[in-house]
Amino acid sequence: MTLKGKKFLLGVTGGIAAYKAAQLARLLVKEGADVRVAMTEAATRFVTPVTLQALTGQAVWTDLWDPRVRDNMGHIELSRDRELIVVAPATADFLAKLAGGLADDLLSTLCAARRSPLLVAPAMNVEMWENAATQRNVHTLRGDGVHFAGPAAGDQACGEVGMGRMLEPEEILAEIEALFQPKPLAGKRVLVTAGPTEEPIDPVRVITNASSGKMGYAVARAAREAGARVTLVSGPTALDAPAGVQRIAVRTAEQMFEAVKKLAPDSDLFFGVAAVSDYRVKNRAAQKIKKGAGGGMTLELIENPDILAWVAALKDAPFCVGFAAESEKLAENAQAKRAKKDVPLLVANLAQRALGADDSEVTLFDDDGRHPLGPAPKLELAREIVAHVARMLAGEKRTRAKA
Ligand code: CTP
């Protein structure tokens, strides 16, 4: 539990999403966090302080002049011992106040006088989010080091559809947890491949591997959380790039190889998570192939380059982590693959167990043997894999593929 005992100030501002702040408070308390709540006057129109008081077991603060605070120093005292201020929802008005450094009510004053980091979860109508002034404020706040959780796109309370919906409380919780991850990869350059590749047969047909890309994206996110500069070379997936990660979109194995060839020599770590198609079609048809009169069809395939093996064989290779989805004899196949590709760490799982799912169960194979992880959400597994790699790097155990 990363958040156990952590001290938060949860700021609630006046938007319809304020009711979700109650759920966020509940989730934080469930994680063992100490949650102090400050609400703007407008927020109390949407959700009552009593609700948040009951959920957090603490007095809720709404007034800059509250006589309960010693010497009327509430603007300093209430946020001084906090490790993070989370404002959820953060309205367009509140973002404007933050960007301008205004302090005309309790919450804006606590933010202005803070020593802790600040995370905001914006919630507003799409037009307000896209308004030039709001975007200018967001840009200013990012530059000031304020962390953003969302917003997301989707249906809005006002009936419109678009960007501006507050993240769900569970998603905000995940963003908060991310801020508290240890930073063992600070300063490292990490390259990750993810997703499937598509090898065209003709303009409308492809050969591909079943892969959602979820594990690779989770690894990229976990490496970013651990402080690394991360580039993600991704085959076609339906996923958004994790925040702070540079994504290069590719389609075929050859395109993935080209991107990796450029980046790998300057990387400290390489995670080959992509389900690269082992073969491509030798003579790709320029036009859609028409069905013959009965009978079958034969495709001639040629082998694709092995991207991971190429990176691992570089003279000054980054620390390489291979991934293998096997359908049987997990340990035997994984060990053989680790030896063949000559990588210090191989993460293996049974394909039937994890394909497309949010959870998985993996085994790490390294010089010290095998380490089972999970079952757990892929992001949690990715964090543990990254932590394992960081320990291997710190111990300088086979830090290069070529020991
Ligand atoms: N890999 C790669 N390039 C390829 C094939 C695989 O970089 N052309 C990487 C994957 O990203 C993964 C690892 O190699 O990290 C193992 O992939 P897998 O498909 O399980 O291995 P293969 O070598 O293709 O072995 P198999 O015979 O089981 O298909």
**Residue ranges, CATH 3.40.50.1950, the chain:** 7-179
Give me ligand 1 centre to Cα 351, in Å: 13
Judged against a pLDDT cut of 60, whether residue 157 lies above it is answered with yes
Instruction: Quote the pLDDT of residue 208.
Output: 96
| Any atom of ligand 1 within 6 Å of the Cβ of 323 | yes
> At 354, is the pLDDT very low, low, confident or very high (cuts 50, 70, 90)?
low
| Any atom of ligand 1 within 6 Å of the Cβ of 164 | no
Instruction: Quote the pLDDT of residue 382.
Output: 97
> At 217, is the pLDDT very low, low, confident or very high (cuts 50, 70, 90)?
very high
Nearest 5 degrees, angle CA 18-CA 20-CA 23? 130
Instruction: Quote the pLDDT of residue 71.
Output: 64
Judged against a pLDDT cut of 80, whether residue 81 lies above it is answered with yes
| Any atom of ligand 1 within 6 Å of the Cβ of 264 | no
Q: What CATH code is assigned to 7-179? A: 3.40.50.1950
- Which positions are catalytic? 158
Among protein residues, the one with the nearest Cα to ligand 1's atom 9 is 308
Give me ligand 1 centre to Cα 275, in Å: 7
| Any atom of ligand 1 within 6 Å of the Cβ of 348 | no
Q: What is the overall mean pLDDT for the chain? A: 92
Over range 161-180, report the average pLDDT: 92
Q: pLDDT tens digits for 82-113?
A: 999 999 999 999 999 999 999 999 999 999 99
Among protein residues, the one with the nearest Cα to ligand 1's atom 28 is 326
> At 403, is the pLDDT very low, low, confident or very high (cuts 50, 70, 90)?
very low
Q: Which amino acid does the sequence have at 281?
A: V
Over range 164-185, report the average pLDDT: 92
| Any atom of ligand 1 within 6 Å of the Cβ of 278 | yes
Instruction: Quote the pLDDT of residue 402.
Output: 39
Among protein residues, the one with the nearest Cα to ligand 1's atom 21 is 324
> At 401, is the pLDDT very low, low, confident or very high (cuts 50, 70, 90)?
very low
Q: What fold characterizes domain 189-402?
A: Rossmann fold (3.40.50)
Say which residue, 156 or 117, is predicted with more confidence. Answer: 117
Over range 385-400, report the average pLDDT: 80
Give me ligand 1 centre to Cα 93, in Å: 51
Over range 34-53, report the average pLDDT: 97
* Ligand 1 atom at minimum distance from 277 CA: 8
Give me ligand 1 centre to Cα 325, in Å: 9
| Any atom of ligand 1 within 6 Å of the Cβ of 195 | no
Instruction: Choose the most confident range, by mean pLDDT, from 1-5, 51-55, 155-159, 371-375.
Output: 51-55
φ, ψ of residue 193 to 5 degrees: the values are: -105, 145
For residues 283 and 185, the answer to whether their CB atoms sit within 8 Å is no
* Ligand 1 atom at minimum distance from 193 CA: 11
Q: pLDDT tens digits for 278-302?
A: 999 998 999 999 887 777 888 999 9
Q: pLDDT tens digits for 228-286?
A: 999 999 999 999 888 889 999 999 999 999 999 999 999 999 999 999 999 999 989 99
> Do β-strands 205-208 and 269-272 pair in parallel, antiparallel, or remain unpaired?
unpaired
Instruction: Quote the pLDDT of residue 350.
Output: 85
SS3 of the chain: the string is CCCCCCEEEEEECCCCCHHHHHHHHHHHHHCCCEEEEEECCCHHHHCCHHHHHHHHCCCEECCCCCCCCHHHCHHHHHHHCCCEEEEEEECHHHHHHHHHCCCCCHHHHHHHCCCCCEEEEECCCHHHHHCHHHHHHHHHHHHCCCEECCCEEEECCCCCEEEEECCCHHHHHHHHHHHCCCCCCCCCEEEEEECECEEEEECCEEEECCCCCHHHHHHHHHHHHCCCEEEEEECCCCCCCCCCCEEEECCCHHHHHHHHHHHHHHCCEEEECCECCCEEECCCCCCCCCCCCCCCCCCCEEECCCHHHHHHCCCCCCEEEEEEEECCCHHHHHHHHHHHHCCCEEEEEEHHHHCCCCEEEEEEEECCEEEEEEEEEHHHHHHHHHHHHHHHHHCCCCCCCCC
Helices 49-56 and 18-30 sit at what angle, rounded to 10 degrees?
10
**Residue ranges, CATH 3.40.50.10300, the chain:** 189-402
